[in-house]
Amino acid sequence: MIHVTRWASRAVLVVGAALVVSAVSLSSTYQPSSAASVWPAGFGDCAGPDCPPGAYPGVPSTGAFRDDNLSVFVGGDFTIADQAAEAEGRVVVIGDLAMNKNSSPSVYNIGEAIGSGVWPTAGSVALAVGGDVTVAPDQSLLVGASIELDAAVAGATTGTVTPTGGFVPAGPVLAPFEGAAAELTTLSECISAAVSASPTGTVAVDGSGTATLTSSNASADPQLFQIDAGVVADITGDILIDPAIDDSATIIIDVIDSSPGSSYSIGGYANGGAGDLLTFRERMLWNFAAIESVGILGPIVFPGSVLVGSDSSTTTVTSPSFNGRTYVVGDLVHGGAGGSGQEFHTYPYRGLLPSCSNPTTSPSGSGSPSGSASPSSSPSGSASPSSSPSSSPSGSASPSLSPTSTLSPDGPDDPALASTGLPLSELALLVGMGLLVFGAAAVGLTARREDLRKR
């Protein structure tokens, strides 16, 4: 009996030790990353029942379709200056909005404009501002035109602001976007890390200012390119895309800054030679994760969306035709000297986003973004219940957007499980330590009894 008890006690010790080792292994292998690989709610693709069934119409179009996701998001202040003319689609500004143009026309249009013709749903909020709105004398900020669109301003309004629908309380409209800036920063950093880890090609700029994107893996999707901001500043002409890249692929260009604190601008695209950009317009994303000063100064068109992730950044757009989403965590300045009709046109981002869901600590001791991709939004023409606003039966957009959260594939399937109970690694550690203590005590007691018996 003593012999059996001795070995049973030792077996308990062995099992306990194994559980402790397993717990340590689990804790280092299954730490889910906090980096998201989806847009926050209200961003990205088109949302609502009246989205275009396929690609968005060209410019100009008649306004036959509707889009209730954001066209422009500003985490800081939004300044409308000089030649700026319009921002088509829904606009949310967390800070202040100031308008002071120095040219004719003296009106700035929001929501409805001459662009893709895909406007917010009638009766919805096309402009929401978390701070004050100030419009210079003899100038006018017009929200909507042929359709009734609302405005929501949390602070004071100075000057002429005319929503064709009316003003509505700002609180319910802005509440869902309180955490959007932080989510966009995380997403921007995620994209930059993923592109850095797994680029699929290179960007070269020649002496004429023409940039060429050459893929080293034409079958990859998304196509990931990284370019130094100093080289981006040399782009003053066309951007040519490797013809080997499939027309359905996503193209992401991540811009990094080797000289922090400097200002960098993209000086072109022109239409000639860059017609392929229209093919990729709804699946092209420029990412500026850590650059403080960004300029989009193209002379003709700028197809594609822009994400600027730094909350201390200032982005200036003077392109006469910006055709994509504009999401900046810092400040946005629309308008500059020269040219006319500087406009934001509503075009969605329907491309993929790289994934940053790898474990924080891998078994080898280091982890890196996988560079794999996940869909950025719901299929064309429909909105995901968790990532886009819903429409009320009356056709107006609901202001009750709620941010989404993304669990790592290594985490639990049910979000509710993420905050209930003990993680597996901690449970194994507690049980293992308990067995070690019990086993040690049993071995000691058995030895003591055997010693007494021999006496």
Residue with tokens 């197809």: 303
**CB contact at 8 A, 375 and 52:** no
pLDDT of 47 strictly over 90: yes
- My answer on whether omega of the bond before 222 falls inside 30° of 0, hence cis, is yes
**Using DSSP, how many helices (H) and how many strands (E) does the chain show?**
6, 32
In three-state secondary structure terms, 276 is helix
Does residue 299 surpass a pLDDT of 90? Answer: no
pLDDT for residue 95 is more than 60: yes
pLDDT of residue 437: 54
Q: Determine the Cα–Cα distance for residues 51 and 109; give it in Å rounded to an integer.
A: 21
> Across residues 348-377, what is the average pLDDT?
54
| Mean pLDDT lowest among 222-226, 227-231, 276-280 | 276-280
Structure-token pair, residue 32: 């889910």
**Tens digits of residue pLDDT in 335-355:** 987 666 799 999 999 999 998
Task: Provide the pLDDT confidence category of residue 446 given band limits of 50, 70 and 90.
Answer: low
CA quadruple 67, 309, 35, 352: dihedral sign:
positive
User: Which pLDDT does position 25 carry in this prediction?
Assistant: 36
Taking a C-beta distance cutoff of 8 angstroms, is the pair 97, 159 a contact? no
Contact 112, 81 (CB under 8 A): no
Provide mean pLDDT across the span 297-325: 90
15-24: average pLDDT: 43
pTM: 0.73
* Choice between 135 and 25, residue whose per-residue pLDDT is larger: 135
User: pLDDT category, 403, cuts 50, 70, 90?
Assistant: very low
Q: pLDDT exceeding 70 applies to what percent of the chain?
A: 66
- CA nearest 278: which of 309, 255, 251? 251
DSSP letter, residue 188:
H
Q: Are 380 and 67 in contact (CB under 8 A)?
A: no
Q: For residue 422, what pLDDT is reported?
A: 38
**What does the pLDDT read at residue 338?**
65
Rounded CA gap, 144 and 358, in Å? 44
Looking from the CA of 258 toward its CB, the CA atoms found within 13 Å total 8
Of 84-98, 320-334, 428-442, which range is least confident? 428-442
Q: Is residue 420 very low, low, confident or very high in pLDDT (cuts 50, 70, 90)?
A: very low
Lowest mean pLDDT: which of 3-7, 68-72, 405-409? 405-409
Using CA atoms of 167, 127, 40, 342 in order, give the dihedral in degrees to the nearest 10. 180
Instruction: HSE, CB side, 13 Å, CA atoms: give it for residue 238.
Output: 12
Average pLDDT, stretch 447-454? 54
pLDDT at site 400: 29
The 8-class DSSP code of residue 39 comes to P
DSSP summary character for residue 382: -
Residue 10's H or E segment, with its range, is helix 2-29
SS3 content of the chain, % helix, strand, coil (to 5): 20, 30, 50
Could you give the CA distance from residue 116 to residue 170 in angstroms, rounded to a whole number? 27
Model confidence at 73: pLDDT above 80:
yes
Q: Which residue has the higher pLDDT, 412 or 177?
A: 177
Q: Using the structure block, give the residue that is written with the tokens 């013709």.
A: 117
Model pLDDT for residues 379-401, shown as the tens digit of each residue: 333 333 333 333 333 333 333 22
Q: For 21-34, how does the pLDDT look when each residue is reduced to its tens digit (9 = 90+)?
A: 333 333 332 233 34
Contact call for residues 356 and 33 (beta carbons, < 8 A): yes
Residue type, 181: A
What mean pLDDT comes out for the span 170-194? 96
The residue among 320 and 5 whose pLDDT is bigger is 320
Please state which of the ranges 18-27, 136-145, 271-280, 360-369 shows the lowest mean pLDDT. 360-369
Q: Give CA–CA dist 138/90, Å, rounded.
A: 25
Task: Kindly report the length of the chain.
Answer: 455
At residue 265 the predicted structure's pLDDT band, cuts being 50, 70 and 90, is confident
Rounded mean pLDDT, 89-98? 98
pLDDT score recorded for residue 234: 81
Of 298 and 343, more confident: 343
